[in-house]
């Protein structure tokens, strides 16, 4: 879980918002337990103004 947080933080530090972090968008190397964040199709560049649209899946 910590690797996912680091990945999201790394993206934000470079001005990118993933917008759809979920289990389907994580690649896990079962040998090394390294996690990669994939599928930036819903992603967008960070902006200073408020966001008016939302993407991704609602999860309960």
Q: Which residues are the active-site residues?
A: 20
Torsion of CA 25, 28, 17, 52, to 10 degrees: 30
């Amino acid at each position: 879980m910590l690797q996912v947080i680091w990945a999201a933080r790394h993206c934000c530090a470079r001005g990118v918002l993933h917008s759809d972090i979920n289990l389907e968008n994580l690649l896990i190397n079962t040998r090394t337990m390294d996690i990669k964040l994939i599928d930036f199709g819903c992603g967008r560049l960070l902006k200073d103004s408020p966001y008016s649209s939302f993407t991704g899946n609602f999860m309960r």
